Amino acid sequence: MTEILEPLGEAQIAVFVSGEARGSNMQALLDACMEKRILGEVRVVVGTRAEAPALARARDAGVSVHVVSPRKYEGQEDAYAEALLRLLQRYAINLVCLAGYLLRLPEPVVAAYPYRVLNIHPALLPLFGGKGMYGKRVHEAVIESGMKVTGCTVHFVDNDYDTGPILVQRAIRVFDEDTPETLAARLLPEEHRAYVEAVEIRTSRWLRVEGRRVVTYHP
């Protein structure tokens, strides 16, 4: 199946984070909007816990912040989805960026924003992804596998973990002396570049999604 995606033009972004998110990818998107490397703005940051450092960073940057706790909606996924959708409508969002949001986004939200939800994963998908593969575990698995390269992936979100079509990847080398911590630290700046590039592509380029392949083209 082939899908044609028009450029979004200006991105009206909502960033989603979960738990105690640090928010460095969110910050990279904020900076890129401020510096006009991305056409558009981060209009709202949505978290799951009020104490998340990411939310404090967003407030400091003057961005609206909301906490929608999935715990409050336990057993009522539809109500959680509605609460998220209400916020997205209220801020006239056309692009959702998951940045350290480790939950599965409710299906109605994915359905309402086809090819308008992006996620970043700290590995070269389709390797080292899936439920429970996040943070340190990903880098441990990479080192154990013996691979000599790793990287990060920005992909469209579908209804599973880390399976949607890939938009941008950046790779780094794995050195003999690497630990999960050194790998994560060396990868982080590449994540920031990849996320900004992915948003820039989605706002400014025509895309054709052919099965799992995303290609840019000129209509």
Q: Which of 181, 184, 125 is nearest to 158 (CA)?
A: 125
Q: Kindly state whether residue 23 participates in binding ligand GRF, applying the rule CB under 6 A.
A: yes
Residue with smaller CB distance to ligand GRF, 99 or 196? 99
Residues taking part in catalysis: 121
Q: Give min distance, CB of 122 to ligand GRF, in A.
A: 4
DSSP at 70: G
Binding residue count for ligand GRF, defined by CB under 6 A:
13
Which 184-203 positions form the footprint of ligand GRF (CB under 6 A)?
191
Would you say 103 and 70 are in contact if contact means Cβ atoms under 8 Å apart? yes
Which 92-151 positions form the footprint of ligand GRF (CB under 6 A)?
99-100, 120-122
Residue 110: CB partners within 8 Å, gap ≥ 6? 117, 157, 158, 159
Segment lying near ligand GRF (by CB under 6 A), choices 23-31, 125-133, 164-172, 196-204: 23-31
Q: Hey, is 52 helix, strand or coil? A: coil
Q: How far, in Å, CA of 104 to CA of 21, rounded? A: 16
Q: Kindly state whether residue 25 participates in binding ligand GRF, applying the rule CB under 6 A.
A: yes
| Near ligand GRF by CB under 6 A: residue from 13, 14, 15, 21 | 21
In Å, how far are 54, 114, 118, 198, 199 from 8, measured between CA atoms? 26, 12, 13, 12, 10
Contacts with ligand GRF, residue ranges (CB under 6 A): 21-26, 54, 99-100, 120-122, 191
